[in-house]
Amino acid sequence: MERAKPVAAVYARVARNESDDEQVSINRQQQECAAAATRLGIDVVAGFVDTDDSGTSLLRPGLGKLFGWLDWEANEGRVTDYVAVASTERLAQRSEDLTEVLRQLGKRGIRLLIAENDSTVETSAANTTNKELTIRDVQEETPATAEQPEHDQLDESEIDLTGVVEQTESLMDVIGDALIEAGDDGEVPEWGARAMARLLANLLGESGSALHHFAVTGQGTFEQIGQDLDVLWEDPDRTEVTSEVINRLATYLITVERKAHQERAGNFSETTRALIAEHGPAFEAFLQLPDVTENNALHGFHEVYYRSFDSLEAVAQDVAESHEVYQLLEEASLSHVASPDQRLLLKLARQRWDIVPHNKRLYLFEK
């Protein structure tokens, strides 16, 4: 969705050792950014703050929320043109950290607005590396000091779920801890599931993906995230580790949704319970859809219920048969050398139906 004017999100940071009052410093930075944006005809639509942070690490809650918000807005079709800062030092003190932030902004097509000189910076992801800054107005490296360690030393609890910081090994450690806590058949904790989503989102490489959104916010449904998991599952170079993470995350999402439904089912009226007994598990699955209520369920159920399957592979096969894909391959004498693209078939299925996992089956309802 295009906005009437270009828009910016403001980021402000105050360090631990600054002499100014914390709130005074934050307010001044925000005012400087807002004034610069006004002079350049840019609307400020959001603001993010980090307090008591030295700027020598990218693992900051405010910075993480900024990138999470940028990706959420993009996923919703709303364009953010700029991130505004009072100065580049507020974004990062070390040149390699600044380069990484600019690279992440460049991947998202977002420019940097520097309030202290009313300058805007093109943040091309292709033109920034960990060794060299090649963007306009940012050329001087910040000298190292005792307060700026050569490498960030991360605590085990410091995991960046926004994807700004590359932490593959740390994510694997967290996932391993989650699997140990869950046991062979147990449910992984939420923090483990979000770490799994971050690892998989990095492999997927799409900043606006449902996997990324779940990693950042902890919000998302199996239906939404499942589409990303399908893409990763179809990767011919998928490793055993990736397969295990996909399976465990999918199990977590299904389990969470089932528990939510069970909690809701505990509050069903006697009439609804009788309808479930009469129409079976398909009707109970239908009640899990977000726009279905006890009042409209029976009428809507008969109109939209298609059928159930025991696996996504069976769903894909049904789509292929309904589109006569196998027959077309046979007629073209290609059946012995070609097969339908399951990922595309499942995409077609999700465009037509809501797919609800329930009691180890998948129930399909027309959208």
- For residue 131, name the pLDDT band (cuts at 50, 70, 90): very low
Nearest to 151 by CA among 96, 80, 91: 96
Please determine, for residue 1, whether its predicted confidence score (pLDDT) is greater than 80.
Answer: no
Please determine, for residue 157, whether its predicted confidence score (pLDDT) is greater than 60.
Answer: no
| pLDDT one-digit tens code per residue, 190-249 | 889 999 999 999 998 876 788 988 887 788 888 788 888 988 988 888 898 898 899 889
- As a whole number, mean pLDDT of residues 95-102 equals 83
Model pTM score: 0.50
| CATH number for the segment(s) 7-127 | 3.40.50.1390
pLDDT, greater one: 38 or 16? 38
| DSSP characters over 34-91 | HHHHHHTT-EEEEEEEE-S--SS-S--HHHHHHHHHHHHHHHTT----EEEES-HHHH
Strand order in the sheet with 305-309: 305-309, 361-366, 353-358
- Whole-Å CA distances, 162 to 7, 104, 140: 22, 11, 27
Q: Are strands 353-358 and 361-366 parallel, antiparallel or unpaired?
A: antiparallel
- As a whole number, mean pLDDT of residues 338-352 equals 75
Delimit the domains of the chain by residue range: 7-127, 168-267, 268-367
- For residue 331, name the pLDDT band (cuts at 50, 70, 90): low
Instruction: For residues 346 and 319, give the distance between their C-alpha atoms in angstroms, rounded to a whole number.
Output: 8
pLDDT number for residue 33? 92
**Residues in the chain, overall count:** 367
Instruction: For residues 190 and 171, give the distance between their C-alpha atoms in angstroms, rounded to a whole number.
Output: 14
- As a whole number, mean pLDDT of residues 300-312 equals 88
pLDDT number for residue 330? 61
CA torsion 205→207→213→217, rounded to 10°? 110
Instruction: For residues 92 and 100, give the distance between their C-alpha atoms in angstroms, rounded to a whole number.
Output: 9
Q: Yes or no: say if 360 and 255 are a contact pair by the CB < 8 Å rule.
A: no
**CB-count burial class (<10 Å; 0-12, 13-18, 19+) for 78:** middle
Nearest to 189 by CA among 200, 198, 180: 180
Q: How far apart are the first and last CA of the chain?
A: 24
**Reduced 3-state DSSP string for 320-353:** HHHCCHHHHHHHCCCCCCCCCCHHHHHHHHHHHE
| pLDDT one-digit tens code per residue, 37-46 | 999 999 998 8
Q: Yes or no: say if 71 and 212 are a contact pair by the CB < 8 Å rule.
A: yes
Nearest to 229 by CA among 214, 211, 241, 252: 211
Percent over 70 (pLDDT), the chain: 78
> Residue 85 corresponds to which tokens in the numbers above?
């800062």
pLDDT number for residue 311? 85
| DSSP characters over 146-173 | TTS-SS----TT---SSSSS--HHHHHH
Q: Yes or no: say if 358 and 285 are a contact pair by the CB < 8 Å rule.
A: yes
Please determine, for residue 84, whether its predicted confidence score (pLDDT) is greater than 80.
Answer: yes
Percent over 90 (pLDDT), the chain: 12
| pLDDT one-digit tens code per residue, 238-272 | 898 898 899 889 888 888 887 877 777 777 888 88
